[in-house]
Structure 1
Amino acid sequence: MTSADHDDSPAAPAGTQAIRRALGTLKLLAEDGGALSVNRIATRLGLSPGTANRMVRALLAEGLVAHDPRTDTYYLGAGTVLLGQAAQQGFGLDKSLPILEALNAETEESVNLAVREKSESVVMLRVQSTLALRFEQRVGARFPLYSTASGKAILAHSPDADAYLDGLPERLEPLAPGTVASRAELARQLAKIRRSGYSTDKEENVAGVRCVGAPVLDADGRAQAALVIQVPTVRMPSDRVRELGARVVTAAKEIARFIPLDRIMSR
């Protein structure tokens, strides 16, 4: 039995271990985006093959996982589609999508709606650019808050921004050529975002990609979500940053009418 095959929480309720394994399996299949064998699932999650097989069979019986007998692999089942559709409606993503599509049509660039999950920014909704030169990204992609336009837009309007900054090292881990170098510089950027209303990412998360983002604010001026326009650097001169900044701020205000921000993922 591997170390992941037992739950060492001192007061874990009965069934917690099985729930964690099931959720881990579903998240793995979602993040991988393809079909995986039982042995591969076991290896990735640190489970024994027997435990992984029982978990997959239980999910299969509930329709949350499907089986390809030709390759003896498993992938997300139709039941997860129904859950996803219900979640999209609950989060207002179905009503937000037309706003992203309109912004995409106006700018011809990729548009993301991201939410905060603890110290990361997670892509919840995406409309991809149809231009030949574009950056491919999937829904569910997650990145550190400090390196993204979405994360910085959210942080600038978060009540725990100071606590987040205090928890960072003075020198930040670089993820791309333009990643903000220090905690002090990040604090200055957050102050600038509060003044301008929008955030920028100048090749801070991905080389060759610049972004402009705006917070989706609740009635108290707090943010747990952000709207972002993602552009190849070659199509983003300084004057376009200001133009897209104004557009994304307007669109983010529209989205705020539909997103129940009190339901967005906890920090």
Structure 2
Amino acid sequence: MPARPHRTVDRVVQILDTVSLSPRGVTLAELAGVLNAAKSSVQELTNGLLARGYLIEEEHRFHLGPGPFILAGRANKLAALSLDHQFVVELAEALGCTVLVGVRVGDAIVFVDHVGEESPSLTFVARAQARRPLYTSAAGKTLLANVPDDEMYRLLDLAGPEQAGEVRQFLAELPEIRARRLAFNRGVTLADAFAVATPLLAADAALIASITAGVGPEAADRLDELGEQLRNAVAALGPRYGLGLRRAG
């Protein structure tokens, strides 16, 4: 049976997402507003998450508990979250532009690190750490193109009718993304942001993240050249940080 969203699971995930993005914590009333649900219904969910250690409550505000971090540590599938920030700094210096690290979370892309300010829209997206559909960004397209086909089509099937055009566009670009190991977004998602992304591999060659280089409209004409520079820079710097990257053939 194909994976499909589930209302209760979606609400639990939305609670965890909302809490994780608020350094000061979130009240029950605030969560109810975000979920557009009765406080009594939300409280049943938060009580369960508190009991299992996925949330903690301090002064009537919810924060993430140890549960999510323990699971991530056991799975060791989010290596990008502990990626040396200096690696991102060196890439940004070498390329002279904004560089972002994105990871796949379910059917979405989330940016977990960035360096640079050349593209304000991209850096805002990185700071917000909001979920965005994989097929809408250069980073997400890179991740989507590098999963097995059955998983890729399962993820695409989750898109609604209103996203059909974006899905078709991704599938049209797919052969080139896989051949060049580069995906582009030429001001489509954000009018003032032009981006190119390449995959980031772990030491065992498993896909762990995408690396995106972003520029503003004034540098849009050099995006193809920037993509080649990005791929080569990631391949050159990666081994120094224990990453099993390889240059494209």
- Counterpart selection for 1:114 from 83, 95, 102: 102
Residue 232 of structure 2: aligned partner: 250
What do the CA deviations read for 1:206-264 (whole angstroms, capped 9, x no partner)? 22111110012468977452111122222x232x213321232134445587469xxxx
Contact 2:54 2:68 survives alignment (8 Å) = no
Distance 1:110 1:126, change over 3 A: farther
> Which amino acid letter does the alignment assign opposite residue 232 of structure 2?
T
> Which amino acid letter does the alignment assign opposite residue 183 of structure 2?
S
Q: SS of 1:190's equivalent? A: helix
Unaligned runs of 5+ in 1: 1-7, 10-16, 175-179, 261-267
The answer to whether 1:201 aligns with 2:185 is yes
Deviation (angstroms), 1:200: 0.7
Deviation (angstroms), 1:76: 2.5
Q: SS of 1:150's equivalent? A: helix
Deviation (angstroms), 1:101: 1.4
> Which amino acid letter does the alignment assign opposite residue 208 of structure 1?
D
The answer to whether 1:212 aligns with 2:199 is no
Residue 5 of structure 1: aligned partner: none
Residue 83 of structure 1: aligned partner: 69
Which has the larger displacement, 144-153 or 100-109?
Answer: 100-109
- Counterpart selection for 1:233 from 208, 217, 224: 217
Percent identity, aligned pairs only, is 20
> Which amino acid letter does the alignment assign opposite residue 28 of structure 1?
T
What do the CA deviations read for 1:26-74 (whole angstroms, capped 9, x no partner)? 3221245654332222343435348628936984996954535xxxx52
What do the CA deviations read for 1:8-33 (whole angstroms, capped 9, x no partner)? 99xxxxxxx8x997765332212456
Listed as ranges, the matches of 1:139-178 within 5 Å are 140-160=129-149, 163-164=153-154, 167=157, 173=163
Distance 1:188 1:208, change over 3 A: same
Q: How many residues align?
A: 229
- The CA distance in 1 between the partners of 2:57 and 2:167, in whole Å, is 46
- The CA distance in 2 between the partners of 1:63 and 1:109, in whole Å, is 37
Identify the structure with the greater helix proportion: 2
Residue 134 of structure 1: aligned partner: 120
TM-score (norm 1): 0.63
Distance 1:172 1:195, change over 3 A: farther
Query: Larger radius of gyration, structure 1 or 2?
Result: 1
Contact 1:208 1:232 survives alignment (8 Å) = yes
- The CA distance in 2 between the partners of 1:197 and 1:213, in whole Å, is 8
Q: RMSD in angstroms over aligned alpha carbons?
A: 4.5
Residue 187 of structure 1: aligned partner: 171
